[in-house]
Structure 1
């Protein structure tokens, strides 16, 4: 598929977040306007921002898409709604979270979407999985690998070292 290359951050800490992320990736990959090209390892990460909650599972993905950035965001939000995501509090517990991190080398600042994601370079739980497949991706003048050198990655553990973990889980999960 021709189109644009976007990167996404996925996470969750309620229910079965790994199955939720796997399902979200499958739902994106089966759309005619999206194709999942790369997926990071699966990571278990300590909560960030609001720390009195369960640990998270996080991953990143590269998606080839013909959608415009805002339409890709809407596709991600639609999947979150389909999976019963509720936004009760900032940085709070969630079943699934899908963030558009980058879209080609575009910079965008609108009410609905900022690209690159405004806080991604401060978050080890985003940079570590993103570095699995895009260490040389340049964000705000520095590579992901370079940002990762300065990021707090304390407590981040590899939960599944396979890049196809999402396909394995989706095959064993109920629809």
Structure 2
């Protein structure tokens, strides 16, 4: 779901006296900051019911912004905006995405100006991940991986598919695999999440020696929202997911409606076509 689909709650011109800045006197004396925020939420249920519990209390959010910025000190307003966005997304489960702008009217640059500001957009991302193992206690490796992913900061496990035994893919002679899939929501960027998954693989003793070869643990990002990304280190959607039964079967169990952003087909459709 993109931010254009969500409704918006806007907070404009919230003044906060806080201690952020590169210079020591800024940290010691403090100065005025002005915060503007747009919260992307689904207000439909609140609008129909008139129930505050089904909406986001903008008064509470204003107090959260003030308390956070006064309780912490950062050199850069970029860092203040980043950490504030994260804090508000975690503290307000109904908020799916957020725009934060922090203005610094008293920026000490020695020239007359109205204000300087940093504005960022952050939000939760829906991600599908494939899991596989064919060395040692594969079930334990997958169980440990699911737990480790769930323990990552700013990450929540949504669903985990059943484990299935599958034949090796890629022509390398080796033992059968135990495969699964999971869906998560996270604040990590694709590159940040990939680094975290590689760390979990490394903890499981993963060695990248033979392409498509045996491994203690294999974690692949299949889908990340509706993102299409192709870099030397990461391709999203996973380049061959539509050709792999051992990927589509478990994913179809927990999220058959997810749609491939390039081919336009759902996981259920791709699995059906692969099996025909």
TM-score by length of 2: 0.54
Residue 50 of structure 1 deviates from its aligned partner by 2.5
Residue 197 of structure 2 aligns with which residue? 76
Q: For residue 21 of structure 1, what is the aligned residue in structure 2?
A: 142
CA distance in 1, matches of 2:259, 2:229: 15
> 5+ residue gaps in structure 2?
1-89, 91-95, 97-123
1:5 to 126, 149, 154: 126
Aligned to 1:7, what secondary structure does the other structure show? strand
- More RCO (CA 8 Å, sep 6+): 1
Q: SS in structure 1 opposite 2:129? A: strand
* Residue in 2 that maps onto 1:86: 207
1:105-125 deviation line (CA, Å, top 9, x unaligned):
111111111110000000000
The Cα shift of 1:51 comes to 4.5
Q: How does 1:16-165 map to 2 (within 5 A)?
A: 16-139=137-260, 140-152=263-275
SS at match of 1:138: coil
In 2, the alpha carbon distance for the partners of 1:107 and 1:146 equals: 19
SS of the equivalent of 2:249 reads helix
Q: CA deviation at 1:25?
A: 0.9
Match of 2:226, SS state, is coil
Distance 2:192 2:253 in 1: 26
Provide the C-alpha distance between the structure 1 equivalents of 2:254 and 2:198, rounded to a whole number of angstroms. 24
CA–CA distance in structure 2, aligned partners of residues 103 and 36 of structure 1: 14
Instruction: Tell me how far 1:85 sits from its aligned partner.
Output: 0.2
Query: Which structure would you say has the larger Rg?
Result: 2
Aligned partners of 2:201, 2:252: CA distance in 1, in Å? Answer: 24
Give me the whole-angstrom Cα distance separating, in 2, the residues matched to 1:152 and 1:91.
22
Would you identify which runs of 4 or more consecutive aligned residues in structure 1 move more than 3 Å? none
CA contact (8 A) 1:124 1:148 kept: yes
SS in 2 for 1:145: helix
Deviation at 1:152, TM superposition (A): 4.9
Deviation, structure 1 residue 150: 2.1
Structure 1 stretches lacking a partner, 5+ long: 154-175
Q: Deviations over 1:15-70 (max 9, x none)?
A: 01111011011011012221111111110001111252100000000011000001
User: Are 1:123 and 1:152, in contact at CA under 8 Å, matched by a contact in 2?
Assistant: no
